[in-house]
């Protein structure tokens, strides 16, 4: 069964990479049904957090990302979560509620179009400008302080 899951992950990653080459503006749906583009965010930076329920370090990041989300106006950042696993929206909502994820989460159906594919390591956080430019890629578990340092460094670029 894991072989099938890895195959679909590989296919999704490839589809995302192919689709991103066809678009200038990343588009996706949030779990609440809103259709979005990265350019919809007027913040300095958008943090895209890749996570999975089976990834303990990913879940350990949730409180820091919740805090950033609540400080988003002050920090001028937006936080958006992306489940590494393609889950039906109802199941994804259950997982988001179970782990008290308070920031917006992208729906995995339809497959989001982003300027990059699935990361090889979890957790991974991308710091992007609203035009899709990747300013930083943070691999591994982050805490509130490391995220804030990365945000400040990215704003200086």
**C-alpha distances in angstroms, 97 versus 35, 43, 74, 93, 124?**
21, 26, 25, 6, 21
- Percent of the chain exceeding pLDDT 90 equals 68
80 strand-pairing partners: 48
Tokens representing residue 149 in the block: 């340092």
Q: What is the pLDDT of residue 31?
A: 95
Q: What is the pLDDT of residue 25?
A: 61
Q: Cα separation of 128 and 4, whole Å?
A: 31
Instruction: With cut-offs at 50, 70 and 90, classify the pLDDT of residue 27.
Output: confident
Buried b (16+ CB within 10 A) or exposed e, 48-64: bbbbbbebeebbebbeb
Instruction: With H, G, I as helix, E, B as strand and everything else as coil, classify residue 38.
Output: helix
Q: What is the pLDDT of residue 19?
A: 36
Q: Do residues 69 and 103 make contact, with C-beta atoms less than 8 angstroms apart?
A: yes
Between 1 and 85, name the one with better pLDDT. Answer: 85
Domain 2-156 in CATH: superfamily? Glutaredoxin (3.40.30.10)
- Percent of the chain exceeding pLDDT 70 equals 84
Q: Return the C-alpha torsion angle 22, 11, 88, 45, nearest 10.
A: -50
The C-alpha angle 5, 11, 14, rounded to 5 degrees, equals: 140
């Amino acid at each position: 069964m894991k072989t099938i899951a890895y195959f679909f992950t590989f296919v999704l990653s490839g589809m995302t990479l192919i689709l991103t080459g066809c678009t200038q503006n990343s588009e996706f749906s949030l779990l609440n049904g809103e259709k979005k583009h990265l350019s919809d965010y007027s913040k300095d930076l958008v943090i895209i957090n890749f996570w999975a329920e089976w990834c303990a370090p990913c879940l350990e990041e949730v409180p820091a990302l919740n805090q950033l989300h609540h400080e988003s106006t002050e920090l001028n950042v937006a936080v958006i979560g992306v489940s590494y696993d393609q889950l039906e929206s109802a199941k994804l909502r259950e997982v988001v509620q179970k782990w008290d994820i308070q920031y917006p989460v992208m729906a995995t159906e339809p497959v989001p179009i982003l300027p990059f594919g699935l990361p090889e390591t979890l957790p991974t956080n991308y710091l992007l400008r609203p035009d899709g430019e990747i300013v930083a890629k943070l691999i591994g578990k982050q805490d509130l302080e490391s995220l804030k340092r990365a945000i400040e460094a990215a704003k200086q670029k």
